[in-house]
């Protein structure tokens, strides 16, 4: 009986959370961001403040989900994100991973799916915050490199989509190409969720039997120079080796040094 009541409440709480998320995104789009556009004429300054608004909005959303009993979470190593010009790469087990990460990074840019720029509930934040859509073709890598060079903290999911439930990660080479061509060290973030929820292909209402526990761990930086040197400065080869390394890294497997 108690388990049934807990499950029923968490289902209701999840619905409340996502309704609040959609409503908040719509309000930001129709009220907050247009007002900021009128008051802040300088584009760079406006984008900076928009990202702060999104950052605090996502913090409130995570707080709401925790307060309602939808999830619990623990953050490890968050102080490593208190820097500028970071290339932050993370695994992507759940729908709200980007919400967690942006809630931890005030000056965050990120690569998002182009469909989010067309969704009425997410279009406002994505457009106003000048996030990078993944449909810009050959210019995507250059846009990302410029973003980090400008001092923004760029969040990228190397898989490009959520990890399948079976855990088989298929990393794209885009993230590695940003690191190699920009000569940027990588700040890796490992996200764990037990039991899994909001996974790829699962509807929001398919909640687990108990409350989800998230652990978000910011790891030590991964230097990129050894991969570039080992590939004799051939960017494509270095990116391929780095992608393989990251695949093993996020799987939690033992990896060897690139220069070994």
pLDDT tens-digit map of 73-129? 999 999 999 999 999 999 999 999 999 999 999 989 999 888 887 888 788 888 899
Strand partners, 76: 217
Q: What is the chain's Cα-based Rg?
A: 19
Please give the pLDDT value at position 252.
79
Please give the pLDDT value at position 138.
67
**Dist CA 8 CA 175 (whole Å):** 40
Q: Which residues, 6 or more positions from 55, have their beta carbon under 8 angstroms from its beta carbon?
A: 102, 103, 105, 106, 108
**Dist CA 181 CA 256 (whole Å):** 22
- Place 4 in a pLDDT band, splitting at 50, 70 and 90: confident
Contact by Cβ (8 Å): 193, 74: no
pLDDT tens-digit map of 203-217? 989 999 999 999 999
Return the structure tokens found at 140: 């995507």
Q: Residue 1: is its pLDDT beyond 80?
A: no
Please compute the mean of the pLDDT values over residues 240-259 and round it to a whole number: 75
H-type alpha helices, 97-234: 97-104, 123-128, 140-149, 174-182, 225-230
Q: What is the pTM of this model?
A: 0.92
Residue in 42, 169, 144, 59 with CA at minimum distance from that of residue 106: 59
């Amino acid at each position: 009986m108690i388990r049934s009541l807990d499950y029923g409440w968490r289902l209701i709480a999840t619905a409340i959370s996502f309704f609040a998320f959609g409503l908040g995104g719509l309000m930001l789009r129709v009220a907050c961001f247009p007002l900021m556009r009128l008051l802040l004429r300088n584009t760079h300054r406006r984008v900076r403040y928009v990202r702060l608004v999104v950052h605090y909005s996502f913090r409130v959303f995570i707080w709401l989900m925790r307060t309602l009993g939808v999830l619990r979470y623990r953050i490890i190593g968050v102080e490593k994100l208190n820097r500028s010009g970071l290339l932050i790469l993370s695994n992507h087990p759940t729908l709200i991973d980007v919400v967690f990460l942006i809630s931890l990074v005030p000056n965050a840019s990120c690569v998002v799916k182009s469909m989010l720029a067309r969704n009425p509930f997410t279009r406002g934040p994505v457009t106003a915050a000048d996030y990078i859509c993944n449909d810009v073709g050959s210019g995507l890598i250059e846009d990302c490199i410029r973003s980090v060079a400008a001092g923004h903290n760029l969040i990228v999911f190397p898989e490009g989509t959520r990890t399948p439930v079976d855990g088989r990660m298929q990393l794209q080479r885009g993230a590695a190409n940003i690191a190699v061509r920009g000569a940027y060290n990588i700040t890796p973030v490992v996200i764990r969720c037990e039991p899994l929820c909001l996974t790829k292909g699962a509807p929001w209402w398919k909640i687990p039997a108990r409350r989800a526990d998230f652990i978000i761990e910011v790891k030590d930086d991964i230097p990129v120079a050894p991969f570039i040197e080992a590939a004799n400065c051939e960017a494509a080869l270095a990116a391929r080796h780095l992608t393989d390394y990251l695949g093993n890294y996020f799987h939690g497997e033992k990896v060897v040094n690139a220069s070994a």
